[in-house]
Amino acid sequence: MGAKWGVVVVAAGRGSRMGTKESKQYLEMQGKPIVVHTLELFAALDDLAEIVVVVGADDVGRVEELVSRFGIGKVKAVVAGGSERQHSVYNGIQALSPAVEWVMVHDGVRPLVTAAAVGACCSVAERVGAAVLAVPVKDTIKQVGDNGLIVSTPDRRSLWAIQTPQAFRRELLVRAHEQAHEEGFLGTDDAMVVERMGVPVAVAEGDYTNIKITTPEDLPWAEFLLAKRGRGEG
């Protein structure tokens, strides 16, 4: 990471699949909300200049208080998200300082990404212009039609499960988001918004432990991984 980097941590989701009244990013692991673990990880990166956190409009004050209570440095702003994740990301990018030339976008509920994986993603992005963390798919994947019948079986060797962070030259990501907005396009991730402009996006291989905490069964697994890491075992 040689350039001026910032990160937009997206934590605006309601987390309906978790089945809890509390949004998943505020559920606690080892005495801290999940989003705090995520923010602390990025704050500890030497080459990262700024963090912007995007949260639900009702949670801005709550997250500002968490940032203060846990002494998380580098958080420049906590901003309200939009109606879709894509809009939330754009709001976050706009809140970064003009001096930030490169931006990562990261899920607030991925607290287990490693500094090494983040560095690898940023290095590839600096070389190519855009990069995503990903891992090769282990399972055979079937494409299934609406009738429940298998349509095709893609070659597993070409399939990767995409994670975050995703890293981009800031000017490129802003342009991609603005073009998508003008054309009413909603992508499932930021790379998709960039890809549709015909811009190449590279893959940096990450770790299978960089899980997204989405459903109840993810939580004990994440706590196990966090404890293991705390003991210096991974």
Exposure letters 182-191 (e unless 16+ CB within 10 A, then b): eeeeebebbb
pTM of the complete model: 0.93
Rounded alpha-carbon distances, angstroms, from residue 57 to 19, 80, 124, 151, 228? 21, 5, 34, 42, 35
* Positive or negative: CA dihedral 100, 91, 26, 203: negative
**pLDDT for 13-41, tens place per residue?**
765 555 566 788 999 998 999 999 999 99
- Mean of the pLDDT values across residues 200-223? 94
Q: How far apart are CA 18 and CA 34, in angstroms?
A: 13
107 has which bridge partners?
Answer: 10
pLDDT at residue 232, rounded to an integer: 72
Rounded alpha-carbon distances, angstroms, from residue 107 to 154, 184, 217, 233? 27, 23, 18, 24
Angle at 63 between CA 60 and CA 66, to 5 degrees: 155
Element at 76 (helix H, strand E): strand 75-80
Grade residue 230 by pLDDT with cuts at 50, 70 and 90: confident
Q: How far apart are CA 176 and CA 215, in angstroms?
A: 31
For the chain, report the end-to-end CA distance as a whole number of angstroms: 23
Residue 168: CB atoms within 10 A of its CB come to 27
pLDDT at residue 153, rounded to an integer: 96
Instruction: Write down all domains in the chain, each with its CATH number in brackets.
Output: 5-228 (3.90.550.10)
